[in-house]
Amino acid sequence: MTDHKDIDEIIDDENDELYEHYSFLVDKGQSPLRIDKFLCDKLEKVSRNRIQNAAKSGSVLVNDKPVKPNYKIRPLDKIRIVMAQPPLEYTIEAQDVGLDIVYEDNDVMVVNKQAGLVVHPGHGNFEGTLVNGLLHHKALWPEINGESRPGIVHRLDKNTSGLLVVGKTEYALSYLAKQFFDRTTERTYNALVWGDFEEEEGTISVNIGRDPKHRKLMTVFPDGDQGKRAITHYKVLKRFGYATFIECKLETGRTHQIRVHMKYIKHPLFNDYNYGGDRIITGTIYSKYKQFIENCFTIMPYHSLHAKSLGFEHPVTKKRMSFEQPLPDYFEELLQKWERYTSGFNL
Task: Show Cβ contacts of residue 27 under 8 Å, excluding neighbours closer than 6 positions.
Answer: 75
Q: Which CA distances in Å does 270 have to 38, 39, 171?
A: 50, 47, 39
Biggest CA–CA distance in the chain, Å, is 78
For residue 305, the Cα-to-chain-centroid distance in whole angstroms is: 12
- What are the beta bridge partners of residue 311? 186, 322
Task: Show Cβ contacts of residue 306 under 8 Å, excluding neighbours closer than 6 positions.
Answer: 160, 161, 162, 189, 190, 191, 325, 327, 328, 331
Amino acid letter, 144: I
Helices of type H across 235-328: 257-264, 287-299
Amino acid letter, 135: L
What is the DSSP pairing of strand 108-113 with strand 161-167?
antiparallel
DSSP single-letter state for residue 241: S
Give the torsion sign (CA, 168, 170, 173, 175): negative
Q: Are 334 and 299 in contact (CB under 8 A)?
A: yes
Query: Which residue of the set 157, 196, 225, 272 is catalytic?
Result: 157
Instruction: Please enumerate, as own/partner, the contacts of 209-212 that have beta carbons within 8 Å and a separation of 24 or more.
Output: 209/14, 210/11, 210/14
Crossing angle of the two packed helices 329-342 and 287-299, in degrees rounded to 10: 160
DSSP-assigned states of every residue in 180-207: HHHT-SEEEEEEEEES--SSSEEEEE-E
- What are the beta bridge partners of residue 109? 104, 166
Catalytic residue flag (residue 77): no
Round to whole Å and give the CA distance between 167 and 140: 8
Q: Which residues are catalytic?
A: 157
